[in-house]
A and B are shown apart, each in its own frame.
Chain A
Amino acid sequence: MVDQSILWSFTIVYMLVIVFLAYKGYKKTKCNADYLIAGRNIHPLILGLSYGATFISTSAIIGFGGVAAQLGMGIIWLTVLNVGVGVLLAFILFGKPTRRIGQALGALTFPDLLGKIYKSSFMQYSTAIMLLIGMPLYSSAVLIGGSRFIETTLGIPFEWAVLGLTGITAAYVVLGGLVAVMYTDALQGSIMIFGLSAIMILTLVALGGLGSFQDLTNIAHLVPSGLANAGMTGWTSFPELGSSLWYTMVTTIIMGVGIGVLAQPQLAVRFMTAKDGRSLNRAIPIGAVFITLSTGVAFTMGALTNLYFLEHNGALATQVVPGGNIDLIIPTFINAAMPDWLVVLFMLTLLAAAMSTMSSLFHVMGSAAGHDLWVHLRKSKIWPESMRGSDEDRSKLKVNKIGTAIMILVSLVLAFIMPGNIIARATAMFMGLCAAAFLPAYTMGVLSKRPSVQGARLSLVVGAISWFVWTAFVHVKESKELGLANLVTGDDAVLGFPWTVIDPLLIALPLSVIALLIGWWLETRRNTALVET
Chain B
Amino acid sequence: MGVNLPRLVGARVARREDPRLLTGQGSYVDDHRPPQMLYAAFLRSPHAHARLARIDASAALALPGVVAVLTGEDIARAAKPVRAESKTPSVKTTSFPPLALGKVRHVGEAVVMVAAESRYVAEDAVERIVVEFEPLPVVKNTDEALDPASPVLHEDAGTNLLVSREFARGDVDGALAGAALVVRERFRFHRHTPVCMENRGCLADYATGSQTLTLRSSAQCPGLVRDILTDLLEHAGAPDPRDRERRRRRLRRQGFALSRGDRHVRDGATTRAPGEVDRRSPRGPALDHARLGRDRRRRARPERGRHHRRASRAGHRRRRRLLDLSVDRRHRAGADDQLPARALQGTDLSRADARRGDLQGAARAVPRRRAAARGVRDRGPDGSRRAPARDRSDRDPAPQFHPGRRLSLQVAVGDRVGPVELHRLARPKAREALDYKAARDEQARARADGRWLGIGVASYVELTGIGSAIPVSPGMPVSTGHRGGDDPLRPRGQGHRGVRRRVAWPGPRDDPGADRGGRSRRADRGRARAPRRYGDLALRDRHLREPQSRAGRRRGHPRRPSDPREDGADRRPSAGGRPGRRHGGRRPLRRARDARPERGGPTDRPRRLLGCAPAPEGARAGPGGDQVLRSVLRHRLERDARGGGRGGSRDPAR
Chains A and B come from one and the same complex: no
